[in-house]
Amino acid sequence: MADRITYQNGFYYESLSESIKNRITGISYPADDSTAQIHYDDLRYVSVLYYNFNDKEKVGELICNKEIAQDLVEIFYELYVNHYQIEKIHLVDEYNGDDELSMKDNNTSCFNYRTIEGKDKLSNHSYGLAIDLNPFFNPYVTYPADGSIHVAPEGSEYYADRSKEFAYKITRDDLAYTLFTEHGFTWGGNWNSSKDYQHFEKKL
């Protein structure tokens, strides 16, 4: 695209092309956008490099709000040069917009026009202002009124116990935490009523 901004080789963002619009419309973006709270022009396509769990260099793609696109290329560049391992970075559309499937596959993603699980309110992912990083190892934990504990995605219950030591765990000492918070993001692991260890978001 003519407005492409390249931060470093392999790290750039640009307006959504027609092919990208076609990929996401009806999946992560509403088929009918007449009442949507965000529009194509508010979003940016982001390309980054990263190292996967086999320490192999890969190309990742994200869609985010235009206001955080520069943040993301800077953050992911620092993660890349430090060999921070991320299993995969695909658009959630590859999972038919299903957040649970994306999390179960440990996919790092950003934009998805959807409500918060169990609520009618739009998630900050709907505005392209939130990103979930290595979500299977950093699950979303809620505490229903019946006293139970709900962990998403299914199968990641082991990783909800943050007293355990395991790879890819995001903590306040983690490089990702440092970089995202330096760029003005907040971490779901710091929430009180629930814990979303995979989740970083930025308020405009």
Tokens representing residue 197 in the block: 């260890």
What percent of the chain is modeled with pLDDT above 90? 89
> With 70 as the cut, is the pLDDT of residue 56 above it?
yes
φ/ψ (deg, to 5) at 20: -70, -45
pTM (2 d.p.): 0.95
Predicted local distance difference test score (pLDDT) of residue 118? 65
Q: For the chain, what is the mean pLDDT?
A: 96
Q: Which residue is associated with the tokens 């490089």? A: 175
Q: Each residue of 59-81: pLDDT tens digit? A: 999 999 999 999 999 999 999 99
Predicted local distance difference test score (pLDDT) of residue 1? 87
Q: Looking at the 3D structure of the chain, how many domains does it have? A: 1
DSSP string of 95-125?
GTT-HHHHHHTTEEB-----BPTTSSSBPGG
- pLDDT interval class at 172 (50, 70, 90): very high
Instruction: Write out the residue range of the structural domain in which residue 79 sits.
Output: 5-201
Tokens representing residue 40 in the block: 């194509």
Predicted local distance difference test score (pLDDT) of residue 35? 86
Q: Each residue of 106-161: pLDDT tens digit? A: 999 999 999 876 667 899 999 999 999 999 999 999 988 888 899 999 999 999 99
- 66: number of Cβ within 10 Å: 13
